[in-house]
Structure 1
Amino acid sequence: MGQPIPDFGKFLESLRGSMSLREAAKKSGLSHAYIRDLELERNRSTNEKITPSPDTLQKLSLAYDYSYTDLMIKAGHLAEEQTFTETASDTSSIDLSAIHYIQIGMKDILYCNQEQRVTRNINSLKDFSRFLDLLDERDYKKIDTDLYVNFQHIRKYDERGGKLYFDVEGTGPALTLSALRQRKYHELILRTIAKNNQTCLEYSFGTVGSGTAAVVPSE
């Protein structure tokens, strides 16, 4: 373990900037009260000192668009040379562009596409933090707890069921989005599928608030 920086809570507050607590809560999936407690570094109900968990930091990293690795270090969860004691396999041999989705466990990572399922051990907490940053750079999105999808491979979206498919017909394996991620990524999914299938978006509007979008072949 490392040492947290002085006034880590104030640092979190500076990352939030002009964003309201409720807006930060909506983007992170955390409660606005808990975010404020983290900024004050204490539970206001019990007055006990609190430190955000790695999972909480990951949510704040996404909400504030700030490096997860740096947050882990500044919070004291990660020292520069901290590693797991287990011998780990190299994940650099995996071609992330060919992977459909990734499921992350406590000590290993499962890479999946239609042809293969490959498991690799997590090398170190430091490397894992950088790995999460890399997923974001490669257009992977978190759709549920510890489940990341390569949006470049999505071909069909069942909005009613919240399911993503990797084939146009929607007959193959599907992944289900959490309700929070479905609301967050709805428009992005539609645009991505249109791009992946070389189709275009067509909007139709009925009563107020009932506008829907469909993917149709481009001319």
Structure 2
Amino acid sequence: MGEAIPNFGQFLESLRGNMSLREAAKKCGLSHAYIRDLELEKNRSTNEKITPSPDTLKKLSGAYGYPYTELMIKAGHLMEQDFSGSYLTPIQVDLTAVFYIEIGTKEIYCLNQITRITKSIESLRDFSQFLDLVDEHDFKKVDTNIYVNFQHIRKYDEHLGKLYFDSLGVGLSVKMSEPYQCKYHDLIYPQIATNNNTSYEITFGKNSMLQSLLSSVD
């Protein structure tokens, strides 16, 4: 562990720039009140000092377009010398064939229909680099510790909140938590259409409820 830069909260506020707190909250999935607490570096209800977790910083990194590793260093979770080349041991996994990733306290599990690859988390440095790689391969966070490769989803059960990796919906599946169901609702159906090589149509039902329909391409 390192030490956070002075006035780290003000630095976060500068990254937000002209973006409103509510806009930032919508982009990163945190509450606007909590984002403001982070900028003030204290919980305004208890007046206690707060420090963002690595997971929170990951969300802010994506929302503000600022490198996650750099943000981790400035927050004091990592030190510059952690990245001095000779002893870097990145978590190496071919993510192109991985359907989803489950992150435990000490290990990372990469799964598809056939295999389950387990990798140990040796350091926070390696973990942060792995999350950067996950982002590059179009994985989306769908629950606290689960990331799904949207390039492989084939069916969505909206009622159960389940993503399937086969078009019949009988094989391997992952359940999304409710906030992520809302966040990715408009993305899921077009992605499934692309993955299944089908067309994507949108119609309005009798009650003006938006319905997503998939139809096969001749």
When normalised by structure 2's length, the TM-score is 0.90
Shift in alpha-carbon separation, 1:46–1:211, aligned structure 2, 3 A = closer
Q: Are 1:81 and 1:126, in contact at CA under 8 Å, matched by a contact in 2?
A: no
Q: Are 2:100 and 2:112, in contact at CA under 8 Å, matched by a contact in 1?
A: yes
What is the one-letter code of the residue matched to 1:56?
Answer: T
Q: What is the rounded CA distance, in whole Å, between the counterparts of 2:167 and 2:134 in structure 1?
A: 24
Aligned residues: 214
- The superposition leaves residues 103-147 of structure 1 with CA deviations (integer Å, 9 ceiling, x where unpaired) of 011111001011111111013211211111111111111000110
SS of alignment partner, residue 141 of structure 2: strand
Q: What is the rounded CA distance, in whole Å, between the counterparts of 1:90 and 1:133 in structure 2?
A: 11
Q: Are 1:82 and 1:125, in contact at CA under 8 Å, matched by a contact in 2?
A: no
Aligned-pair CA distance for 1:36 = 0.7
Shift in alpha-carbon separation, 1:90–1:8, aligned structure 2, 3 A = closer
What is the one-letter code of the residue matched to 2:140?
Answer: K
Aligned ranges 1:111-126 → 2 under 5 Å:
111-126=110-125
Q: What is the rounded CA distance, in whole Å, between the counterparts of 2:146 and 2:66 in structure 1?
A: 20
Q: Are 2:90 and 2:126, in contact at CA under 8 Å, matched by a contact in 1?
A: no
Q: Are 1:163 and 1:175, in contact at CA under 8 Å, matched by a contact in 2?
A: yes
| Residue number in structure 2 paired with 1:59 | 59
SS of alignment partner, residue 153 of structure 1: coil
Aligned-pair CA distance for 1:173 = 1.8
Q: What is the rounded CA distance, in whole Å, between the counterparts of 1:65 and 1:168 in structure 2?
A: 34
- The superposition leaves residues 5-58 of structure 1 with CA deviations (integer Å, 9 ceiling, x where unpaired) of 222111111222222212222333322222111111122233333221222212
When normalised by structure 1's length, the TM-score is 0.90
Aligned-pair CA distance for 1:160 = 1.6
Q: What is the rounded CA distance, in whole Å, between the counterparts of 1:151 and 1:45 in structure 2?
A: 39
Aligned-pair CA distance for 1:90 = 6.4
Q: Are 2:162 and 2:176, in contact at CA under 8 Å, matched by a contact in 1?
A: yes
SS of alignment partner, residue 80 of structure 2: coil
Aligned-CA RMSD value: 2.0
**Unpaired stretches in structure 1, ≥5 consecutive residues:** 84-88
Q: Are 1:90 and 1:120, in contact at CA under 8 Å, matched by a contact in 2?
A: no
Q: Are 2:90 and 2:130, in contact at CA under 8 Å, matched by a contact in 1?
A: no
Q: What is the rounded CA distance, in whole Å, between the counterparts of 1:146 and 1:203 in structure 2?
A: 32
| Residue number in structure 1 paired with 2:4 | 4
Q: What is the rounded CA distance, in whole Å, between the counterparts of 2:120 and 2:90 in structure 1?
A: 8
Q: What is the rounded CA distance, in whole Å, between the counterparts of 1:45 and 1:173 in structure 2?
A: 43
| Residue number in structure 2 paired with 1:145 | 144
Q: What is the rounded CA distance, in whole Å, between the counterparts of 2:45 and 2:201 in structure 1?
A: 50
SS of alignment partner, residue 152 of structure 1: coil
Q: What is the rounded CA distance, in whole Å, between the counterparts of 1:207 and 1:13 in structure 2?
A: 45
| Residue number in structure 1 paired with 2:79 | 79
What is the one-letter code of the residue matched to 1:199?
Answer: T
**Unpaired stretches in structure 2, ≥5 consecutive residues:** 84-88
| Residue number in structure 2 paired with 1:86 | none
What is the one-letter code of the residue matched to 1:71?
Answer: L
Higher deviation after alignment, 10-19 or 60-69: 60-69
| 1:136 maps to 2:108 | no
What is the one-letter code of the residue matched to 2:163?
Answer: L
| Residue number in structure 2 paired with 1:15 | 15
| Residue number in structure 1 paired with 2:106 | 107
* Percent sequence identity over aligned pairs: 62
What is the one-letter code of the residue matched to 2:49?
Answer: K
Shift in alpha-carbon separation, 1:23–1:207, aligned structure 2, 3 A = farther
